[in-house]
Amino acid sequence: VKAFAYGSGSMEVASWLQYHRVDYLSVAYPDEGVVLRQNGIKLPIMVLNSDPETYHKLFEYDLEPEIYSLRTLKAYLHFKTNLYPDSTSKIHLKLDTGMHRLGFIEEDLETLIEQINETPNVEIASIFSHLVGADDVEHIDFSKRQIAQFESMSSKIIEKLSYKPIRHICNSAGIIRFPEAKYEMVRLGIGLYGIESSG
């Protein structure tokens, strides 16, 4: 429901989705999540973009940030340990499976797991990646390589945990084009509004 639910009205759409018992909502920025909380939305909310200046909102309004690098992980864990040591928080780890923009790379995984396991009251709610070309038939092979990379990297993380986070890689186009990669969750974004981007 990011960007005011693509212009459809975030509160209206979020209320409707909550009524139909979806598992998660996702917003672009903490302020969008704050508005939903202030208007009675109780579903878990994942925040795609947050920075240290907005971390307090994550804890005050029970919002769950995307963490995409060792730098952002360190900043978040430092903030939590110093200001909210007793609060349990959930985070979502983004893996880089080929987009080369944001996300943990293979070489980060050992340090990532160590830092998570050493910090009390922090749980990985989900592990995810983004299929950069799922809506384009020309990129099917690349998307399949991304899915294989995601499977490998996410499995390495899960092996070192005492619980199993949700995994998700399919966006709207990926849901249709790669049904074998639905894992435990999918991210229906623009498809929710009737746009079928894969053709």
Output phi, psi for 132, to 5 deg. -65, -30
Average pLDDT score over residue span 50-62: 96
Q: 164: buried, middle or exposed (CB in 10 Å: 19+, 13-18, 0-12)?
A: exposed
Confidence of residue 148 (pLDDT cuts 50, 70, 90): very high
Number of helical (H) and strand (E) elements in the chain, helices listed first: 8, 6
pLDDT at residue number 40: 97
Instruction: Dump the DSSP string for 93-158.
Output: EEB-SS--SSSB-GGGHHHHHHHHHHSTTEEEEEEE---TTTT-GGGHHHHHHHHHHHHHHHHHHH
pLDDT at residue number 167: 98
CA distance 120 to 77: 10
**pLDDT of residue 17 exceeding 90:** yes
**pLDDT of residue 48 exceeding 90:** yes
Q: Are 124 and 91 in contact (CB under 8 A)?
A: yes
pLDDT at residue number 12: 95
State both tokens at 59: 């804890």
Q: Are 103 and 137 in contact (CB under 8 A)?
A: no
Q: Are 154 and 167 in contact (CB under 8 A)?
A: yes
**How many alpha carbons lie under 13 Å from residue 1 in its C-beta half-sphere?**
26
Q: Are 151 and 127 in contact (CB under 8 A)?
A: no
User: In this predicted model, what pLDDT tens digit does every residue of 150-168 receive, in sequence order?
Assistant: 999 999 999 999 999 999 9
Query: Which of 158, 94, 166 minimizes the C-alpha distance to 132?
Result: 94
User: In this predicted model, what pLDDT tens digit does every residue of 97-146 receive, in sequence order?
Assistant: 987 778 999 999 999 999 999 999 999 999 999 998 888 887 899 999 99
Rounded to two decimals, what is the model's pTM? 0.95
